[in-house]
Amino acid sequence: MNYLHKDLHLSEGEVVEVVLDHPANVQLLDAPNFEQYKQGKPFRYFGGYSKESPVRLTAPSAGQWHIVIDLGGGAGSVRATLRTLSGVTTS
């Protein structure tokens, strides 16, 4: 399984902005769900498939979070940059 991954410590309500060069799945997962993802088991996440960039995801609680970017098994590659934003809300 090919994916991009970034491990982050986020505060509740903190926003992560992901800029993609191609459409992709952009998912925010907690540690247990990231383990499920890596094992190919069902998992829960925030986000989903995005055709538009940037993607902004908000941490629902403080703690360790994982941003995972993949093509859902499709062929090709994707590049992404990310940053955390302070004082920004998502709609």
Dump pLDDT digits (tens) for 34-45: 999 999 999 999
Within-domain flag for 39: yes
Question: How many structural domains is the chain composed of?
Answer: 1
Percent of the chain clearing pLDDT 90 (strictly above): 80
- pLDDT tens digits, one per residue of 67-83: 999 998 777 788 899 99
High-pLDDT (> 70) share of the chain, %: 93
Domain that holds residue 52: 4-85
Q: Exposed e or buried b for every residue in 9-46, given b needs 16+ CB within 10 A?
A: ebeeebbbbbebeebbbbbbbbeebbeebeeeeebebb
In a domain, 9, yes or no: yes
Task: Tell me, yes or no, whether 15 lies in a domain.
Answer: yes
Residue 90 belongs to a domain: no
Residue 91 in domain: no
Estimate to the nearest angstrom the gap between the alpha carbon of 3 and the chain centroid: 11
Domain membership of residue 20 (yes or no) is: yes
